[in-house]
Amino acid sequence: MTDQLSQVFAALADPTRRDIVARLTDGDATLTSLAEPYAVSVQAVSKHLKVLEEAGLVTRGRVAQTRPVHLEAEVFDLMTKWIERYQQRAEERHRRLDAVLARMDDDEQHTTQEGTAS
């Protein structure tokens, strides 16, 4: 079984699914309304929704005769925490590199000044 983070990233690897998620940030929508802008069948969009649902990104409710699709925003917290962890590591690595480069620059300036003072 694949972990949820992998499922989320795999689900979002498809541009149509990313677009569906982006559209759902405006609010819940029905399958029919989500399928409208695409040149594919409603069944194809339904398959995309199934992938998003299996990844935990969306849920489908029931209101009267409709089944609105709802974006589950808390899944983005999982992604954000993962991204932030590696972003912090990368930023720390860049800070260390900046410090090394600054020391090298200081050493070079110091060496140059000693050479011109002689």
Helix (H, G, I), strand (E, B) or coil at 39: coil
- Quickly name the fold that domain 4-72 has: Arc Repressor Mutant, subunit A (1.10.10)
In the chain, what are the domain boundaries?
4-72, 73-118
Nearest partner of 7 among 82, 61, 60, judged by Cα: 82
Q: Could you report the per-residue pLDDT of 25-43, keeping only the tens digit for each?
A: 999 999 999 999 999 999 9
pTM, rounded to two decimals: 0.72
Residue percentage of the chain with pLDDT more than 90: 55
